Amino acid sequence: MFYKVLYFLCVAAEIFVVPKFLSYYWPQRCKKSFIWKTVASTIFVLIGLFAMKASGNISPYATYIVWGLVLGMAGDLLLHALTTAKWPFVSGVIAFLTGHIFYVIAIQKAIKTTYPDSSVFEWYEILAIVLMVVITIAYLLIRNLIKRDNIPLLIGLSAYLMFLTTMVVKAFRFVIGEFAYGTNDNVALLMITVALGAVLFFISDITLGLMILNKERFETKKMRYFNIGTYYVAQILLGSSIWFVQSFEIFGK
């Protein structure tokens, strides 16, 4: 009961803290925005930890989700660092990418509850991931949001999108599988916390990418608020999913 109360208090606190952070974040970063972002990101890590404690879920899914939240917090602080040096940005992107990998592993472990004999990647998952990456890159090129001759950027963006779309595809495979064949009684809540959480993460990262690639066109107050709003809701949902997801112990078996 104690950890359940702490969980709900953290969710309620996030509703206050994130708007407070946003109020200082526009038009540019400052000490107050850094402080409030630190608080906001720490809270979503606590949401995952308290959900883990309150539910008694110590499965690999829960563990990897919590590590993904921690890496998300690290990425937040690095990207928001009050410096013009490049290393915090690069380190922040790496932290986020690693966090995506942890989320993918967590969801794959959960998938094993429904498909214990399945491969790590089925052909239709690979096809969906490739199509999503190709369509996204093609759209960015057609709309002149990225330069065609910037090969390193295209490669880096494609790699990041691959991990991001993998997370979305895995989330939907898990939820659809639970709906069709699973024994979990919380399918609706799985759809909200796992699938919607992954989709909002995808949307948030795409909007962040647009603001980075074309600052003059996309970095507006509304876009930044939308980016931050979808991001924090995604992290809260993924942390909360620990309440409803159990998983097998061994990845890939």
Q: What would the pLDDT profile of 158-192 be if each residue is shown by its tens digit?
A: 888 999 999 999 999 999 888 887 767 788 888 99
Does residue 45 lie within any of the structural domains?
Answer: yes
Asked if 84 and 218 touch (Cβ cutoff 8 Å), the reply is no
- Tell me the C-alpha to C-alpha distance, in Å, between residue 120 and each of 17, 35, 109, 173: 38, 40, 9, 12
Does residue 226 lie within any of the structural domains?
Answer: yes
Separation between Cα atoms, residue 73 and residue 236, nearest integer Å:
12
Domain that holds residue 206: 2-243
Tokens 């494609």 label which residue? 158
Q: What would the pLDDT profile of 116-154 be if each residue is shown by its tens digit?
A: 888 888 899 999 999 999 998 888 888 877 767 767 777
- pLDDT tens digit at each of 253 positions of the chain: 899 999 999 999 999 999 999 999 988 889 999 999 999 999 999 999 999 999 888 889 999 999 999 999 999 999 988 887 888 988 998 999 999 999 999 999 988 877 888 888 889 999 999 999 999 888 888 887 776 776 777 788 888 899 999 999 999 999 988 888 776 778 888 899 999 999 999 999 989 888 877 777 788 889 999 999 999 999 999 999 999 887 654 333 3
Asked if 243 and 51 touch (Cβ cutoff 8 Å), the reply is yes
Does residue 183 lie within any of the structural domains?
Answer: yes
Does residue 253 lie within any of the structural domains?
Answer: no
Separation between Cα atoms, residue 122 and residue 184, nearest integer Å:
22
Asked if 154 and 137 touch (Cβ cutoff 8 Å), the reply is yes
Q: Which residues of 137-158 are buried (b: 16+ CB within 10 A; e: fewer)?
A: eeebeeeeebeeeeeeebeebe
pTM: 0.90
Separation between Cα atoms, residue 21 and residue 180, nearest integer Å:
41
Q: Is there a cis peptide before residue 60, judged by omega within 30 degrees of 0?
A: no
Does residue 167 lie within any of the structural domains?
Answer: yes
Residue at 83: amino acid letter: T
Does residue 249 lie within any of the structural domains?
Answer: no
**How many domains would you assign to the chain?**
1
Separation between Cα atoms, residue 34 and residue 32, nearest integer Å:
5
What pLDDT sits at residue 248?
Answer: 56
Does residue 251 lie within any of the structural domains?
Answer: no
Residues 6+ apart with CB under 8 A from 33: 21, 24, 25, 80
Q: How many CB atoms are located within 10 Å of the residue 19 CB?
A: 14
Does residue 22 lie within any of the structural domains?
Answer: yes
